[in-house]
Structure 1
């Protein structure tokens, strides 16, 4: 998606350790006009698929997932990283490792909101090592729902996540795949 690639080039900041900061428009301050275009693009890429739920993980994926859900006219469910008093009863649980935060945590979804008969599209902001998507896919499988595919705003193509997810047979659509980035020059190249 050229619009997203252009925005990453303009406002993205490459940091040491393969970190791409896009917090000025994607995952801290959110450009809702850009999100709207991303939602339309995900709708186009998954056109014809039967989808009745969008599943994401807190917190950075929620904004994008909500806009995508508007395009599909379906609800969003987000996996929480901590169990709260609000989640009563049984939950689906998976362990994930965060590339960004460098730690492992449990993600949970109430059984009330995910189950057999659901056709689920996963949405997230980044794909690096694939652990968050694997965890979300495990929740879908555990629930008895059907995983339709996964939509990612930015995939780090030089990391293993995309290959792992695709090797599992998951229909993965990434709007921008970063081929390389240089923290010294700030240069970012994309896969076509």
Structure 2
């Protein structure tokens, strides 16, 4: 998605540790018009017939997942990184390691929101090592729901997450795949 890549080049920054900072339009301050275009692009890349939910993990993926869910006409569900007092009943859970926060989290989703008949599309803002997505995939499997695929805004192609997901036979669509990123700039994988 050329428009999105151009925005990353113009406004994105590379921080130490290969952190890609795009908080001016993707995951702190949100450009909703850009996200609507991203949702339309995802819609063109997946067969969404029978889709019942969009799933993501808190917090940065929520904005994109919500706009996608609205575009697709289905609810958005997000897994939490901690159990709060207002979550009742059965839970799905998966332990993940956060590359960004450098610590473990247990993803939690109330079982009432994801059922065996559901057809789910996972949407997230970033894919690096793939831990958050692995956790969401585990939750979808635990619920015996069907995973249609995974859409991510930015994939770090120099880290193993995307390769691992594709090798597992899961339909993965990334709107921008960064091949390398350093102080000299951000380079994208050719489409």
Name the TM-score class by shorter chain. over 0.9
Quote the offset at 1:47 in angstroms.
3.5
Aligned length: 190
Equivalence for 1:148? 148
Give per-residue Cα distances to partners, 1:71-100, cap 9 Å, x unaligned: 110000000001111211110000011111
Give per-residue Cα distances to partners, 1:137-165, cap 9 Å, x unaligned: 00000001011100000000000000011
Quote the offset at 1:50 in angstroms.
2.9
- Is the contact made by 1:69 and 1:76 (CA closer than 8 Å) also made in structure 2? yes
Equivalence for 2:85? 85
Give per-residue Cα distances to partners, 1:41-91, cap 9 Å, x unaligned: 011111454311100000000000011101110000000001111211110
Equivalence for 2:187? 189
Quote the Cα distance in structure 1 between the aligned partners of 2:27 and 2:61.
8
Equivalence for 1:113? 113
- Is the contact made by 2:117 and 2:146 (CA closer than 8 Å) also made in structure 1? yes
Equivalence for 2:128? 128
Quote the Cα distance in structure 2 between the aligned partners of 1:49 and 1:96.
30
SS at match of 1:100: coil
Q: Quick check: 1:21 aligned with 2:32?
A: no
Q: 1:179 to 1:49 in 2, by over 3 A?
A: farther
Structure 1: which 4+ aligned runs deviate by more than 4 Å?
Answer: none
SS at match of 2:141: helix
RMSD over aligned CA atoms reads: 0.8
After superposition, residues 92-111 of structure 1 pair within 5 angstroms as: 92-111=92-111
TM-score by length of 2: 0.97
Ranges in structure 1 where 5+ consecutive residues have no aligned partner:
none
TM-score by length of 1: 0.97
Ranges in structure 2 where 5+ consecutive residues have no aligned partner:
none
After superposition, residues 22-37 of structure 1 pair within 5 angstroms as: 22-37=22-37
- Is the contact made by 1:129 and 1:160 (CA closer than 8 Å) also made in structure 2? yes
Q: 1:49 to 1:158 in 2, by over 3 A?
A: farther
